[in-house]
Amino acid sequence: MKIRSVEPIEVAAPAGESSSPWSSTVILVRVTTASGAVGWGEAPTTLMTAPVRESVREVARFYEGRELEEHVAALRDFEVYSFYRSRSMEATSALSAVDIACHDLVGRAAGVPVSTLLGGAIRTRVRAYSNGWYSDCIEPGEFADKARAMVRSGFRALKFDPFGDAYRTLSPEGLDRAVARVAAVREAVGHGVDLLLEYHGRFLPEAAVRAGRALDAFRPRFMEEPVLPELCDALRGFRRAVATPVALGERLLTAADFESFLRRGLVDILQPDITNSGGFTYGREIAGVAAAHGAPLAYHNAFGPVQTAATLQMDAVLPTFFLQESFEASWPEWKRSLVRGYAIESGEFAIPTKPGLGIEVDERAVERYRSDVMEPIGPEPPWVIAGTWVRRPKDAPPAPPASRRPPPRRP
């Protein structure tokens, strides 16, 4: 079971097909053994598509030519050589994808799901919350209509960003609009549905606190990344001023990062991302930190289907599992076609029990959508659900994936 090759493969939305929600590109990683066995991993993009793709090639040098059973040793060797790993999302994303693929291969060879390799599943199903459902929503009534539709499909938890194009500061009018959107959704779905409010880590502390106090009234289950990440120490004051729990973690890369945030009183609910925080190998360490602090875990999951499959295997063994993010109900067709083997029904995932990640990747679809483009720039950042900052004309063609277009000017 010697590792023969580690290959990054970018797939992207075809011309003419919208890719809201996240994201228009996906980085898959195919690890192939000398016998021809294949395992799959995934890494995030979000305006770092090309750097992550190249970082996979750096990581590959530590794995290629080694026995598959030595894959954790290869990861530890990369730690020694990669001086900036603990602060480089490109490095940890590449490492995560390869780690996921190696676990997929080991599980397939052993005939067991990855959850068995991690100690054994303690649950067979997980409750999910829907994200991405509110594309092209600006007015409160638009949010309400789409929220009702998601609840009719079976979801009992919805996450959304009500802040429009506000960034860093939040005007009184901007806060009023956010309150109106959240109020409309709460009225539409009632109090039997959990609301999860996404700030996208974009506010100065004063603006975040004003928003938090105003939105507490709607009893959200959590508020995600309320302040700019570089101002994370302000989260202590936010938690004192705002009643709703704070969730974060998609930008934290190591178990030590998560432990530090918990110890300093900066977070209530942890949201690691298996595709940038070290895959399953580091995922076990993060789960241990969360269990030691009694902290709920709600894995971030906003990219592609291999990520979802890997995350579900992690969910199966978490002592403090809370909720699972899902964009699946709002995916474009090209992304749906990449993988078979799991499904979401009535707001829940059944955890795959077939060997490895429990999925089959459609390599014909992978080849059909193979690409080397960067994510398009504008008119909204790639972390925005399309049509929530800028109203998209219904008859307008999608923006081409032109990596050299200048970013839009802000007033």
200 is catalytic: yes
- Residue 381 phi, psi (nearest 5): -60, 155
> How many residues make up the chain in this entry?
411
Residue with the two structure tokens 């959240």 = 182
What are residue 157's DSSP bridge partners? 194
300 is catalytic: yes
How many other CB atoms are there within 10 angstroms of residue 381's CB atom? 17
Whole-angstrom Cα distance, residue 256 to residue 379?
A: 37
Query: Which candidate, 170, 228, 233, 165, places its Cα nearest to that of 200?
Result: 228
**Peptide bond preceding 23 in cis form (omega within 30 of 0):** yes
Give Cα 54 distance to the centre of its chain.
Answer: 21
Whole-angstrom Cα distance, residue 301 to residue 268?
A: 18
In Å, what is the CA distance from 63 to each residue of 34, 58, 213, 228?
13, 10, 50, 36
Assess contact for 78 and 71: CB atoms under 8 A.
no
Give Cα 245 distance to the centre of its chain.
Answer: 19
Catalogue the long-range contacts made by 174-181 (C-beta closer than 8 Å, 24 or more residues apart): 175/210, 175/211, 175/214, 178/211, 178/214, 178/215, 179/214, 179/215, 180/140, 181/137, 181/140, 181/143
Whole-angstrom Cα distance, residue 259 to residue 257?
A: 5
Whole-angstrom Cα distance, residue 320 to residue 322?
A: 6
**Of residues 103, 191, 293, 300, which has the active-site annotation?**
300
**Within 242-332, where are the H helices?**
255-263, 279-293, 305-315
Using the Cα atoms of residue 399, residue 275, residue 11 and residue 365 in order, give the sign of their dihedral: negative
Query: Which candidate, 394, 390, 392, 399, places its Cα nearest to that of 165?
Result: 390
Whole-angstrom Cα distance, residue 293 to residue 296?
A: 9
N-to-C CA span, the chain: 57
**Of residues 71, 103, 200, 293, which has the active-site annotation?**
200
As annotated, the active-site residues are 200, 300
